[in-house]
Chain A
Amino acid sequence: MDDLQALYQEVIIDHGTKPRNQGLLENCSHQAEGFNPLCGDELMLYFDTENDVITEVKFSGEGCAISTASASLMSQFLIGKTLAEAQAAGEEFTDMTVNTPNEAHENLGKLTILAGVNKYPSRVKCATLSWHTLQAAIDKSSQPVTTE
């Protein structure tokens, strides 16, 4: 499999063109806006928690297949995770895409499919936008977070 096929695997095309958990959550416990000023990608992320465990996730916005697939896969991954687990996964995901694409990253499960973005420095931010936005939502940041 060449780098390009590794990046645009079926799962990524599938989630990138038919994203799961799209929409918005009204009156949710956490929400934040993410923005990639270089390419104009925008993401609104919403989620609800019960006793610190994430129960429901929705997102909306505009982005490429990589950023949409990343947000879609993240939304599925987060359900049932505690905020601390979510935050740790975000850190590991960023580390995987930037520094350690070839390590196992068992904690990340299906998310490891996005490791191939490491070969495309200009696209790493597409994959990490949703996780930056998650962190902003956990921090209850009222300012849109950017990838810059």
Chain B
Amino acid sequence: MSLDITKIREDFPILGQTINGHPLGYLDNAATSQKPTVVINAVKDYYEKINANVHRGAHTLSEQATEEYEKTRKKIQRFINANHSDEIIYTSGTTESINLVAASYGRANLQPGDEILITALEHHSNIVPWQLICEQTGAVLKVAPINEKGEVIVEDFKKALNSKTKIAAFSHISNALGTINPVKEMTALAHEYNAVVLIDGAQALPFMQVDVQSIGCDFYTGSGHKLFAPTGIGFLYGKAELLNAMPPYKGGGEMINQVSFAKTTYAALPYKFEAGTPNIAGAIGLGHAIDYLMSLGQEAITAYEDDLLAYATAKAEAMPGITIIGTANNKASILSMVLDGIHAHDVGTILDHQGIAVRTGHHCAMPVMKFFKVAATVRASFVFYNTKEEIDALFVGLKKVQEMFGRG
């Protein structure tokens, strides 16, 4: 089934506006996605009709809020094909999810000399939490290299694994380059050494069908705001046996069973990890965003976005003075570029003047930039509401940048 893009664009009120006198071309979806009316209305409805704390009061509003809030947990479960909704822990997003695993699983299981293996493609949020836990436990962080195309060298990833590897953590899709990693194969390799596997799914969930049981990973993380839902809500998927054995990550209300000053016993999954009043409206919004995505169909979304990427890639390749950074064989709809002799930030400002929003900078992936010996890139990232006309406008804009810098 193909997508009706005109109709889809009407579902996103923000897309209709003009920026600096030009129609908005929002090509910064890998940073955060826009929100459809159904999500915006779900958040509004929650505050207008059922705002109450969840899992607490015996009153009608609390019960209604709790029901809506818990519905999303089941939707996430189905969306990523988890075995049970108790395996879905609400967090503020991928960053918190990774920190949760690093702090809780890491502190309980890592000994001095143990190893954590990541890849050279990672976002800072899949580097720094591991560095912090290494400092606390004496574990050692190892990094599997990438090749000139920006692909993890699976052979080297395999060689970096050994009996000391306790955790392997890698992205499903690179936010800086768009590379889709062979996560199933990498997971199986890590499991040969009994390492637990965490996959950062922030970029993958909006782009492709994800099945955590098929991949076989132990942990998988997601961010609502990249998935057409509000900011400040996301999740951690973890296998129940691992989550059950892990100590709580935060202390507070909701996560307890019995509290006394002598001893506190903890709540069962998933609440053990959910201390404090959560982002209820965000969670409800996320549920509606997942419904929306599923109504479009993940396969149709991937096919359309693949087509946009191919179109934009061909344009970039045909234009003098532009180099694509990240040319993996298997890529999501992220196009990172550098312009000869022109810094990415100047490109970003000049494109903004033409209504085009792209990300410019190091994309919270400074080691990736260092590998390619660039300070920053211009990153255009496309989703199902983007059009070929917007991509045309992007390249008209890039041409204007080159002209302003005397390189036209």
Contact = CB atoms under 8 A, between A and B. Distances in A.
B342 A41 contact: no
Given A40-B361, A40-B366, A40-B369, A123 B405 contact: no
A7 B361 contact: no
A116 to B, nearest CB: 11
Contacts of B342: 65
A12 B371 CA distance: 30
A38 interface: yes
Interface in B104-138: none
A85 interface: no
B400 to A, nearest CB: 10
A114 to B, nearest CB: 14
A22 to B, nearest CB: 15
A12 to B, nearest CB: 10
A64 B362 contact: no
B406 A13 contact: yes
Contacts of B345: 39, 64, 66, 123, 126
B349 interface: yes
Task: Tell me whether chain B's interface is mostly helix, strand or loop, or mixed.
Answer: mixed
Contacts of B360: 39
Contacts of A120: 349
A8 interface: yes
Interface in A44-72: 62-66, 68
Contacts of A66: 345-346
Contact of B341 (A8, A17, A40, A42): A17
A4 interface: yes
Nearest to B360: A39
Contacts of A62: 375
Contacts of A126: 345
A130 B46 CA distance: 49
Contact of B350 (A8, A38, A39, A68): A8
B361 A8 contact: no
A3 B350 CA distance: 10
A65 B343 contact: yes
B375 A8 contact: no
B314 interface: no
B343 to A, nearest CB: 4
Interface in B274-293: none
Interface in B323-354: 341-346, 349-350, 353
B350 A4 contact: yes
A-B pairs, top 9 by smallest CB distance, nearest first, are A64-B343, A64-B345, A62-B375, A4-B353, A65-B346, A40-B362, A64-B346, A39-B361, A40-B375
Interface of B: 341-346, 349-350, 353, 360-362, 366, 369, 375-376, 404-406
Interface of A: 2-4, 7-8, 13, 16-17, 38-42, 62-66, 68, 120, 123, 126
Given A8-B346, A39-B360, A64-B345, 19 more contacts: A3-B353, A4-B349, A7-B349, A16-B346, A40-B366, A40-B369, A41-B375, A42-B375, A63-B375, A64-B344, A64-B346, A65-B342, A65-B343, A65-B405, A66-B345, A68-B343, A123-B345, A123-B349, A126-B345
